[in-house]
Amino acid sequence: MSGRVFPASPHGTPAHPAYEQLRPVTAAASVVLAENPSPMTLDGTNTWILRAPGQTGCVVVDPGPEDPTHLDRLAACGPVELVLLTHRHLDHTEAARTFAERVGAPVRALDPTLTLGAEGLGAGERLGVAGLDLRVLVTPGHTDDSLCLVVDDDGSVLTGDTVLGYGTTVLGDYPGALTDYLDSLRGLAELPAGTTLLPGHGPDLPDARETAEYYLRHREQRLDQVRAALGELGPDPSPRQVVEIVYADVDEQLWPAADQSVAAQLEHLRRVDG
């Protein structure tokens, strides 16, 4: 689940691939877009296929929904050596077990309850698979089990729902979600300039560091808006009262998602402002 609550990325909304077509993006990464569009999944879930040039085996990241057409397309990209999950939400994980059993590959994720035939992933862990060196970057905020995968030898990073191709992600509903998320964005902002951003939803973007810096500025602006709303509403408003002021220009069908983000913003401000 992502969420179309916030403004577009600094790069706008570039053309996105047609459903169930394998589209090469970098030397090592191709994407297959699942046909599950919604206000919370944008155009649908991106399933990423990773392999070094010349390699036969591949890694499948976020198999997505239980859609036979989508899973047939992914299986045709094989042989599959490993299935990786960026976080627990069903639009990324629903088909993971079915698909992994079909292709005979283990599943790994930060949350060990999502794994199959392997251990959970750890922060900073490096995975040598399909001819690639993948590095696990733990990036909580959207969920407490969110991670990104840095492909150093390809100059790219898979961000799941931590950073999207357009819009910005809905924050998790756990204590410290925004505090975590700001730290995660700062980590992404330390990647080399020109690192290609490969998101869980929306189009790929040319510079992960630039995008993370933009998102950090946007979050700080939102926090200033929430502070201003607190000056008007008093110190203990409900999230919806703040949403009605800060997100007045957003489609009301998305306000429930905004409620969750505002709750995280209020909790963060109590931590940092007292």
pTM of the full predicted structure? Answer: 0.91
Give the pLDDT confidence of 177-230 residue by residue, as tens digits.
999 999 999 999 999 999 999 999 999 999 999 999 999 999 999 999 999 999
The string of pLDDT tens digits covering residues 130-139 is 999 999 999 9
Contacts of 69 (CB under 8 A, 6+ apart): 20, 35
The CATH number for 23-273, chosen from 3.60.15.10, 3.30.1300.10, 3.30.70.3040, 3.40.50.720, is 3.60.15.10
pLDDT at 6 over 60: no
Cα–Cα dist 204/138, whole Å: 20
3-state secondary structure 80-145: EEEEECCCCCHHHHCCHHHHHHHHCCCEECCCHHHCECCCCCCCCCEEEECCEEEEEEECCCCCCC
Query: Domain residue spans in the chain?
Result: 23-273
Taking the C-alpha atoms of residue 137 and residue 156, their distance in angstroms, rounded to an integer, is 13
pLDDT at 118 over 60: yes
Alpha-carbon separation of residue 114 from 7, 70, 72, 89 (angstroms): 32, 20, 22, 11
